Structure 1
Amino acid sequence: MQGLHLTADLYACQCAPLLMVDPDAIAHLCRAQTEAAGLTRVDDCWVQFPEWQGQPGGVTGTLLLAESHLAIHTWPETGNVTLDVYVCNFSTDNSTKASQLLEGMVQAYQPQRVVRNRLLRGDISASAPQASPAPEEEGWIVEALSPTAAFSFRGTVLERQSSEHQSLELLHTPRFGRVLRLDGRFMTSEKDEFFYHEALVHPAAIAHPAPARCLIIGGGDGGAAEELLKHPSVHEVVIAELDAQVVELARQQLQSVHRGALDDPRVRIEIGDGMAYVDHCPGQFDLILMDLTDPDTPASALYEPAALARMQRALAPGGALVLHLGSPVFHPEQVRTLLARLSARFTQVSPFGLYIPLYGAYWGLAVASDTLRPKALSAAAVQERLAQRGITRLQLYNAELHGALFALPNYYRAMVG
């Protein structure tokens, strides 16, 4: 058993006055937010405190949930509120629902300042308990890199959605601008998207003599498509994205990531199962980019040997598959496993890596092909192709960096086997 405990202290709330003093209004809000989050109310109890020194009394209440509880206490004399959400993750992971419930309550109270805490609790398994991530406190946004490490930066939630497939969050951060987070994982940002997207696209695209037709599995933010379109030989980019809400959110809020690529006539968006699309297009793509969530998420099936074999069949002669592997520092076994799977399938596997600020770590990627070997391309050859193709608007990738990306640290090189 393992549970997630979230708390939030709200200061100087600007909500409707009834939400500070009326048990019925507060109960209605809590029930509605619980239902919206997909949690199950069993019962609730409310206490109205009497007036004190001419000030209205606050309200304390608890919703008993099938998953655990929601608790609230209001201080109308100061405009402060404390919130407490706890869920058990015994039979299913309710973490996303707990976060949605807490944030829905926070938004309803409109505080001028919020202090959040996030605790993992109740691990009574036979193995040793894992460490909790750092607390999300005073606007710090946290992502666990591993059971013993986390990365965080200051930010606020601008928008939160729940789709059929995942939770979507649009964050505002001083360092990265707007950030897209899916199921609690940082995906892309306005100010540093080029680290990931340029590295995902250009080492393989430059190594290919003339990429024409490309497939992006995932990639609904449009950043990878925008990079592919810089190559003049590319006349079609298919984005096979499972979640239509990712594409729509990117269109509306992340224009500086895709720069109009989502609506470029050379780009075709296919909403649905990306692997089903792959199976209908054998031997058709010069490049396939796996621009997905991490290999330890629900996208894990697309990193399995059977899925890699299906993608290999969709490559045109001389084509290449590009994917990210995770961090060789924080996910060494995952990186080692994925490289072994690629080597069992493809003749040429070229792992590379770079530090990606939004991910808080050195990150591993790979180009897999039966013929293409981008790490063999010299700096002079890279520069010649960049010039021939008229590619100049780059913030990360250049001729000298191309080779450096494939110069692996010894501990990473050892994972290649």
Structure 2
Amino acid sequence: MYGLHLTADLYACQGGAELMIDPVAIAQLCRTRTEASGLTLVDDKWVKFPDWQGQPGGVTGAVLLAESHLAIHTWPETGNVTLDVYVCNFSGDNSGKAQQLLETVIEAYKPGRIVRNELVRGDISANALPASPTPEEEGWIVEELAPSASFSYRGKVLERQTTPYQSLEVLETSPFGRVLRLDGRFMTSEKEEFFYHESLVHPAAMAHPAPTRCLIIGGGDGGAAEELLKHPSVRELVIAELDAQVIEVARKQLKAVHRGAFDDPRVRVEIGDGMAYVDRSPGQFDLILMDLTDPDTPASALYEPAALARMQRALAPGGALVLHLGSPVFHPEQVRRLLGHLQAQFREVSPLGLYIPLYGAYWGLAVASDSLRPPDLTAAEVQRRLDARAISNLQHYNADIHGALFALPNYYRALLPTPEPADVAAAH
């Protein structure tokens, strides 16, 4: 029975609408790709789901192979697809054919991001030797950081659900306690969330003389809100979260991350399209934090120039936008592109970076503003403001760390484009 089981989760697919909603087109794709791979098609079955909340329904189907199967499911509302290829290698090694089939179907969908998994299935015959435990059997949870790199943590799934927008998991891990994962990516954890949340919030909040009204786009785990509420000048904090189930799960499972921030009277949760809320709030916010999934996920449109311009209009005079960029090590072109977008829109762009344990990499963030320059704050001034605001319960950020966050290594500096004076003028 020895065989190979391959799966792939495809995000932000650009391969054509028919491959998301048309069972005839999907069936034809799978039949031709199966034939080209050299595997043997026996039969196939396809089901088209009804429309849901104004969105076209997806398609589920399977191709029965003499060697085993190909299965597929599409989510047109998010542009996501899951693939599953299994082949038995009992009478010959079909692994190469399985790989070819998977990759040619992936190619047709043109995904923006791919998460692959590979499982070698064991021999269950009477004379089979006991197999050594595989990482999957030992509870290793793997994330692909880039096409050529991945990392993993040992843990178990406490909760798993599919929301209208994404897959959601809460994991229990040894190093980090409970971990939130969305669409196969680690988001935050109980024991190390302070690396990301303190660095997302305090460099900009400390540079602002007195942030009063703040907006978090995303941020459904509540960690960024908990940090912002440490600043006594904050009078109103809006969390504009698309997915209500993220907040529901965070309330129950991630109390060590949000520490009750959702129940603070200064906090208002707005469920729905965060950009719609931005458009209703011109010139109102001292700080806007984009606490979203990564720029190569379905949230990608919020990192594009048109969305950044809309967020700039929602900033009050002296306000700042804060966002994360990805890893300068593993995603250099993405980081370069986003920094270029920011420089074309804002007069002051201040990149920063730090190693985030849960993400397995050195990570880039940025503060963008028309006037605020967090790197200009001296350690003495940061300490004075920390004391004046009575902020002491921090695990990562301090007066010395403030400047260190903006001390970029040369390879990161090289990703920051040099703006032409006309480009900046044209943005205002």
Task: Please tell me the TM-score bracket, short chain as reference.
Answer: 0.7 to 0.9
Is 1:190 aligned to 2:190, yes or no? yes
Q: From the superposition, tell whether residues 88 and 220 of structure 1 become closer, same or farther in structure 2 (CA, over 3 Å).
A: closer
Q: Distance in 1 between matches of 2:271 and 2:412?
A: 36
Aligned position for 1:137: 136
Q: Distance in 1 between matches of 2:136 and 2:282?
A: 49
Return the TM-score normalized by structure 1.
Answer: 0.73
Aligned position for 2:173: 173
Is 1:362 aligned to 2:342, yes or no? no
Q: From the superposition, tell whether residues 85 and 232 of structure 1 become closer, same or farther in structure 2 (CA, over 3 Å).
A: farther
Aligned position for 2:251: 251
2:103 corresponds to which letter in structure 1?
A: D
Judge conservation of contact 1:324–1:366 (CA < 8 Å) in 2. yes
SS at match of 1:281: coil
Q: Distance in 2 between matches of 1:120 and 1:325?
A: 33
Is 1:5 aligned to 2:6, yes or no? yes
Q: Distance in 2 between matches of 1:166 and 1:291?
A: 16
Q: Distance in 1 between matches of 2:358 and 2:118?
A: 17
1:10-409, aligned counterparts within 5 Å?
66=46, 69=62, 86-87=71-72, 93-95=80-82, 122-124=102-104, 125=107, 132=116, 137-138=136-137, 139-409=139-409
Instruction: Give how far 1:344 is off.
Output: 0.4
Q: Distance in 2 between matches of 1:122 and 1:274?
A: 36
Judge conservation of contact 1:5–1:120 (CA < 8 Å) in 2. no
Instruction: Give how far 1:284 is off.
Output: 0.4
Instruction: Give how far 1:84 is off.
Output: 8.7
2:102 corresponds to which letter in structure 1?
A: G
2:263 corresponds to which letter in structure 1?
A: D
Q: Distance in 1 between matches of 2:380 and 2:262?
A: 33
SS at match of 1:416: coil
Q: Distance in 2 between matches of 1:131 and 1:223?
A: 26
SS at match of 1:175: coil
Q: Distance in 2 between matches of 1:317 and 1:382?
A: 21
2:402 corresponds to which letter in structure 1?
A: H
Instruction: Give how far 1:5 is off.
Output: 2.3
Q: Distance in 1 between matches of 2:244 and 2:140?
A: 29
Instruction: Give how far 1:94 is off.
Output: 2.9
CA displacement, residues 152-180 of structure 1 (integer Å, 9 cap, x when unaligned): 11011111111111111111111111111
Instruction: Give how far 1:320 is off.
Output: 0.2
Q: Percent identity?
A: 69
Instruction: Give how far 1:6 is off.
Output: 4.6
Segments of 4+ in structure 1 off by > 6 A? 88-92
Aligned length: 330
Q: From the superposition, tell whether residues 257 and 227 of structure 1 become closer, same or farther in structure 2 (CA, over 3 Å).
A: same
CA displacement, residues 345-397 of structure 1 (integer Å, 9 cap, x when unaligned): 10000000000000000000000000000011100000000000000000000
Judge conservation of contact 1:132–1:147 (CA < 8 Å) in 2. no
Instruction: Give how far 1:263 is off.
Output: 1.1
CA displacement, residues 4-25 of structure 1 (integer Å, 9 cap, x when unaligned): 8259xxxxxxxxxxxxxxxxxx
Judge conservation of contact 1:120–1:132 (CA < 8 Å) in 2. no
Q: From the superposition, tell whether residues 90 and 261 of structure 1 become closer, same or farther in structure 2 (CA, over 3 Å).
A: closer
Aligned position for 1:17: none
Report the aligned-residue RMSD.
3.0
Instruction: Give how far 1:123 is off.
Output: 1.2
Return the TM-score normalized by structure 2.
Answer: 0.72
Aligned position for 1:29: none
Unaligned 5+ segments in structure 1 are: 8-39, 41-61, 72-82, 100-118
Judge conservation of contact 2:115–2:144 (CA < 8 Å) in 1. no
CA displacement, residues 208-253 of structure 1 (integer Å, 9 cap, x when unaligned): 0000100000001100000000000001110000000001000111
